[in-house]
Amino acid sequence: MIKISLPDGSVLEFDGAVSLKDVAERIGSGLANAALAGVVNGQLKDLGVVIENDAEVSIITPSQPEGLKLMRHSAAHIMAEAINNLYPGTKFAYGPALEDSFYYDVDCPEAISTDDLPKIEKEMKQIVKNNAKFERVEMTREEALKKYASDEYKLDNIERAKGDVISFYTQGNFEDLCMGPHVPNAKKIGAFKLLNVAGAYWHGDATKQQLTRIYGTCFANKEDLAAYLNQIEEAKKRDHRLIGKAMGLYEFHSESPGMAFWRNNGVILRNQLIGYIRELCDNNGYEEFFTPQIMSKELWVTSGHWANYADKMYTTDKDGREYGVKPMNCPGALILYKAGLYSHNDLPLRWAEFGHVHRYEGSGEIHGLVRVRGFTQDDAHVFCTPEQLRGEIKECIKFIFEVYTTLGMNFDHIELSTRPEKSIGSAEMWQQAETALENALKELEIDYVLNPGDGAFYGPKIDFHLKDAIGRSWQMGTIQVDFALPESFDLHYIDDKSERKRPVMIHRAVSGSLERFIGVLTEHYAGDFPLWLAPEQVRVLTVTDAANEYAEKVVKELKKYKIRAKLDKRNSKIGAKIRDGELAKVPYQLIIGAKEAENAQVSVRRRFKGDLGTMNVGELAELLLSEIESKELPPVADAKTDN
- Which of 69, 240, 297, 359 is catalytic? The answer is 359
Residue 314: how many CB atoms within 10 A of its CB? 17
Residue 489 — φ and ψ, nearest 5°?
-95, 5
Active site residue 319: no
Strands lying side by side in the sheet with 602-606 = 565-568, 538-542, 588-592, 602-606, 610-615
Active site residue 381: yes
Residue 571 — φ and ψ, nearest 5°?
-85, 65
Distance CA 303, CA 301 (A): 5
Helix H or strand E encompassing 2: strand 2-5
- Which of 270, 381, 390, 508 is catalytic? The answer is 381
439: left (phi over 0), alpha (psi -120 to 50) or beta: alpha
Q: Are 520 and 465 in contact (CB under 8 A)?
A: no
- Which of 108, 330, 384, 396 is catalytic? The answer is 330
Active site residue 607: no
Q: H helices within 541-589, ranges in order?
A: 548-560, 574-583
Distance CA 8, CA 44 (A): 18
Distance CA 384, CA 390 (A): 10
Active site residue 182: no
**Which of 585, 566, 529 has the alpha carbon at shortest distance from 269?**
529
| Interacting residues of 626 by C-beta distance below 8 A, sequence separation 6+ | none
Distance CA 61, CA 37 (A): 7
- Which of 188, 390, 461, 508 is catalytic? The answer is 461
Active site residue 507: yes
Q: How far is CA 370 from the centre of its chain?
A: 8
Burial class for 201, CB neighbours closer than 10 Å (0-12, 13-18, 19+)? middle
Q: Is 350 helix (H, G, I), strand (E, B) or coil?
A: strand
Please give the single-letter amino acid code of residue 28: G
Distance CA 297, CA 126 (A): 57
Active site residue 344: no
Distance CA 308, CA 306 (A): 6
Distance CA 283, CA 278 (A): 9
Q: List Cα–Cα distances, 154 to 159, 179, 206, 209, in angstroms.
A: 8, 13, 20, 14
- Which of 171, 377, 480, 537 is catalytic? The answer is 377
Q: Is 39 helix (H, G, I), strand (E, B) or coil?
A: strand
Q: Are 354 and 509 in contact (CB under 8 A)?
A: no
- Which of 193, 297, 373, 507 is catalytic? The answer is 507
Active site residue 305: no
Burial class for 482, CB neighbours closer than 10 Å (0-12, 13-18, 19+)? buried
Residue 374 — φ and ψ, nearest 5°?
-130, 125
Distance CA 534, CA 637 (A): 14
The secondary structure of residue 64, as a DSSP letter, is S
Q: H helices within 407-513, ranges in order?
A: 427-443, 484-488
Catalytic residues: 330, 359, 377, 379, 381, 461, 507
